[in-house]
Amino acid sequence: MHDALSLALILLAAAVFVVVLFRRLDLPPLLGYLMVGIGIGPHASGLLPDVGHVAPLAEFGVVFLMFSIGLEFSLPKLMTMRRLVFGLGTAQVVLTAFLAALVVKLAAQGWAAGLVVGAAAAMSSTAILGKMLAEKLELNSAHGRQIMGVLLFQDLAVVPLLILLPAVAAGGGALWANLLDAAWKAAVLLALLLGVGQRLMRPWFAVVAARRSPELFTLNVLLITLLLAWLTEQAGLSLALGAFVAGMLISETPYRFQVEEDIKPFRDLLLGLFFVSVGARLDLALVWQQAAVVGAVVAGLLALKAALVAGLARLFGADAGTAMRTGLALAGAGEFGFVMLSRGAELQMLSPGAQQVVLAALVLSMLASPFIVQESERLVRRWIGSDWMTRAMALHNIAVQTMGAQSHVIICGYGRSGQNLARILEQEAIAFVALDLDPRRVQEASLAGESVVFGDAARTEVLLAAGLMRAAAVVVSYADTHSALRILEVVRNQRPGMPVIVRTLDEADLDTLRNAGAAEVVAEIMEGSLMLASHALMLLGVPFNRVLRRIRSTREQRYSLFRGFYPGMTDSADEEPVRLHSVQLPPGAAAIGRRLEDMDFARARVDVTAIRRHGVRGLDPAPQTILEEGDVLVLKGRQADLAVGEALLLSA
């Protein structure tokens, strides 16, 4: 018992510190878990003397990861991207796996080891690439769509590969018999589960949801997931296959999004444990002895995948620049590569020495992946001369369409907010040019005769081509602070004084955007609060003129009355940490009889936004206000600072 507790404390402490460090470095947390495993594993510090202690729990991390993949499975999405998914994706996985397996076979490791290494090498990191493409606003770019299409097929390919590995591991003359046995079992089980499960899942979840018990709902999700995983294991297949099917079944119900939120803590925790167990298997001493071999494998893996994917992308009609960006992004290893390697090790398909080399190569290539993606643009421009011509043509098209525009508005982003703004500008006969990175949206809007062009508004050359030097204003209609700051920097450098209106989700980045040069910042949550307040006041009988005056006054104060909020159980952990906290002065409180200006709230980094005294609430109290027993002060600040502010008020 004490040994188990000690192990749990070691894992938790190491994971917390390392993951915090990796998040601070803007690197994926799963790499942090790998480093934790390497550091505490039996081949390093020995704090985790036996990987078998965490292996059973770690396997559930893969189960819940596959459940999440099944939950996100969308047949319409597959059909929309079928050429990229089943064309480019299939070609990439099959050819990468085959070439890697061939290299391993030539190294005298055998076809079974080759299959494991090939399956691991074929995978790329959905977590890393999805996050980086989203941050760079490239999910809808040409290379972004190709990357996501390939990643989607890789996720789907995990299921048949996990079925294939045990059949191949059995080996001998019964290889094809094993494959056929696994195939018919999978087909029968899938047909049964999907056929019967779809009819039962929706009504059963309705019964559970009707009880209105969050813990019952979560228990039901865990039961369904683990039950189907157990059924597939009993059929001689993998736990992951059953979890994937469970996710597919639940994805067809109205409860999908609630299930996704409920399962996320279990998935992330157990998946982190899985990567700890993977890292713990790495023998650094052996890897150091084989450093030259590991380096050659890493270089070969990155070069092979980059060249192969780029060549395939060209065959599927991409231009040279798009093909190279796709190849560089997909060159690194991925999460499922470790799943394949771990499964191969369990089935003893790899020798211990080969396993160490491949594991080290996967870790290093995955670490290199974010840096390769970050530098891909510079590399493409350096190596692909025609890319300049392609971009020049795109800029030329933008310039041609905006040549006659004068005193127009440049709308950055043509989603719903951008389109609504465009309608209003049209009604006022104000010219506009919209920039968007979704080619389908641009095509449809252009066909409808709207002034929309394809381009990244965060690039200097694109804004200049859109007529920045002749425009009257720029509007950032999408809520992405990072991209908005880049646009503000471009405008500040090229056209100081140009008014830029920026949309944001809440008040978290108001000051940052204002300091960067935004003329106005519109916070969605605040505007929603204002509309709620205005309707409530009018329904309560407050005269319309007073309502308008109150709303106008709040806006003129730069939303000061709405800055901060009282935290609640339903608030997201990602929301702005500036909050409101009420503190009542009890008898004997240190602040009684003192003035507000004497309380040194500046040192505590908190503000007093209101004081309620004898049932009357006063906003923005004067610094000379003398505090009395029973006063309720509303403090605004971050959680840690609020604790200091409360101590100033109460402690003698």
CB 445 within 8 A of CB 424: no
Above pLDDT 90, what percent of the chain? Answer: 4
Q: SS in 3 state form for 93-130? A: HHHHHHHHHHHHHHCCCCHHHHHHHHHHHCCCCHHHHH
Which residue, chain included where needed, has tokens 């972004």? 144
Closest by CA to 376, choosing from 448, 323, 413, 412, is 323
Q: Is the pLDDT of residue 618 over 70?
A: yes
What's the sign of the alpha-carbon dihedral 243, 244, 247, 248?
A: negative
Residue 224 vs residue 80, higher pLDDT: 224
3-state secondary structure 327-361: HHHCCCCCHHHHHHHHHHHHCCCCCHHHHHHHHHH
pLDDT of residue 402: 59
Average pLDDT on 610-616 reads 78
In angstroms, rounded to a whole number, what is the distance separating the alpha carbons of residues 641 and 450? 50
Dist CA 323 CA 313 (whole Å): 5
614 or 99, which is more confident?
99
Q: Which residue has the higher pLDDT, 577 or 411?
A: 411
Is residue 216's pLDDT more than 80? yes
> Rounded CA gap, 118 and 161, in Å?
11
Give the pLDDT score at 424: 87
Cα dihedral 76, 78, 79, 85 in deg (nearest 10) = 170
Query: CA 485 to CA 458: how far, in whole Å?
Result: 9
Using pLDDT thresholds of 50, 70 and 90, give the confidence band for residue 1: very low
Report the alpha-carbon distance of residue 435 to residue 401 in Å, rounded: 12
Alpha-carbon Rg of the chain, whole angstroms? 29
> Does the pLDDT at position 390 exceed 70?
no
For residues 243 and 554, which has the higher predicted lDDT (pLDDT)? Answer: 243
Q: According to the model, what pLDDT value does residue 95 have?
A: 92
pLDDT for residue 183: 72
pLDDT band at 307 (very low <50, low <70, confident <90, very high): very high
Q: Estimate the crossing angle of helix 385-402 against helix 320-329, to 10 degrees.
A: 120
β-pairing, 409-412 with 432-436? parallel
Per-residue model confidence (pLDDT) at position 308: 92
Q: Give the closest residue to 508 by CA, choosing from 540, 480, 548, 550.
A: 480
DSSP letters, 256-308, are HHHHHHHHHHHHHHHHHHHHHHHHHT--HHHHHHTHHHHHHHHHHHHHHHHHH
Q: What CA–CA distance (Å, rounded) separates 75 from 59? A: 28
pTM over 0.85: no
Average pLDDT, the chain: 79
In single-letter form, the type of residue at position 148 comes to M
Evaluate if residue 236 carries a pLDDT over 80.
no
In this structure, the number of other CB atoms found within 10 A of the CB of residue 572 comes to 6
* Region 563-582 average pLDDT: 57
Residue 569, pLDDT score: 45
Q: Which of 652, 648, 651 is nearest to 635 (CA)?
A: 648
Q: How confident is the model at residue 8 (pLDDT cuts 50, 70, 90)?
A: confident
3-state secondary structure 611-649: EEECCEEEECCCCCCECCCCCEEEEEECHHHHHHHHHHH
Work out the angle at residue 92's Cα, subtended by the Cα atoms of residues 90 and 95, and round it to the nearest 5 degrees. Answer: 100
pLDDT at position 573? 46
Amino acid at 528: G
Residues 115/101, Cβ–Cβ less than 8 Å: yes
